[in-house]
Chains A and B, each alone.
Chain A
Amino acid sequence: MLSWLIVGEVILNMPDLGLLDGIVLDQDEPVFSEPWEAQAFALVIGLYEKGAFTWNEWATVLSSTIHSDDGCTSYYELWLKALETIVMQKALANKDEIFVRKTEWQKALLATPHGQPIELQNAHKS
Chain B
Amino acid sequence: MNETKKHSHDHDHSHWSDMDLKVKTLESLLVEKGYVDPAALDVIVETYETNVGPRNGAAVVAKAWNDEAYLERLRENASDAIAELGFTGRQGEHMQVVENKPGVHNIVVCTLCSCYPWSVLGLPPVWYKSAPYRSRVVIEPRSVLSEFGVKLPEATKITVWDSTAEMRYLVIPERPSGAKDWSEEQLAKLVTRDSMIGTGLALLPNEVPA
A residues engaging B (CB < 8 A)? 1-8, 10, 12, 14-15, 17, 20-26, 29, 31-32, 34-43, 45-50, 52, 55-56, 58-60, 62-63, 66-67, 70-73, 75-77, 80, 83-84, 87, 92-93, 97-98, 101-102, 105-106, 109-110, 112, 114, 118, 120
Q: How far is the CA of A59 from the CA of B164 in the complex (A)?
A: 8
> Looking at the complex, which one of B140, B142, B161 makes contact with A14 (CB distance below 8 Å)?
B140
Contacts of B165 in A (CB 8 A): 55-56, 58-60
Dominant SS at the A interface? helix
Closest chain A residue to B49, Cβ basis: A31
| A59:B115 contact, CB within 8 angstroms | yes
Contact B35–A72 (Cβ < 8 Å): no
Per-position binary interface string of chain B over residues 61-100, scored 1 when its CB falls under 8 Å from any chain A CB and 0 otherwise: 0000000000000000000000000000011110000000
Docked CA distance A56–B15 (Å): 36
Interchain CB contact under 8 A, B23 and A36? yes
User: How many of chain B's residues have a CB under 8 angstroms from any CB in A?
Assistant: 71
CA of A4 to CA of B207 in the docked complex: distance in angstroms?
A: 32
- Whether B147 contacts A22 by the Cβ 8 Å rule is yes
B22 touching A62, Cβ below 8 Å: no
Contact A4 B35 (CB under 8 A): no
* Residue contact B24 to A23, C-beta cutoff 8 Å: no
Stretch at the interface among B127-135, B170-178, B180-188: B127-135
Indicate whether A105 sits within 8 Å of B40 (C-beta atoms), given known contacts A10-B139, A59-B164, A118-B15. Answer: no
Residues of B within 8 A of A32 (CB): 45, 49
Residues on A with beta carbons closer than 8 Å to the beta carbon of B93: 55
Pairs across A and B, CB under 8 Å, 20 listed: A15-B135, A15-B139, A20-B136, A23-B147, A36-B19, A38-B49, A41-B123, A42-B42, A49-B90, A59-B164, A66-B114, A72-B5, A84-B22, A92-B29, A92-B33, A93-B33, A97-B29, A101-B28, A110-B14, A118-B16
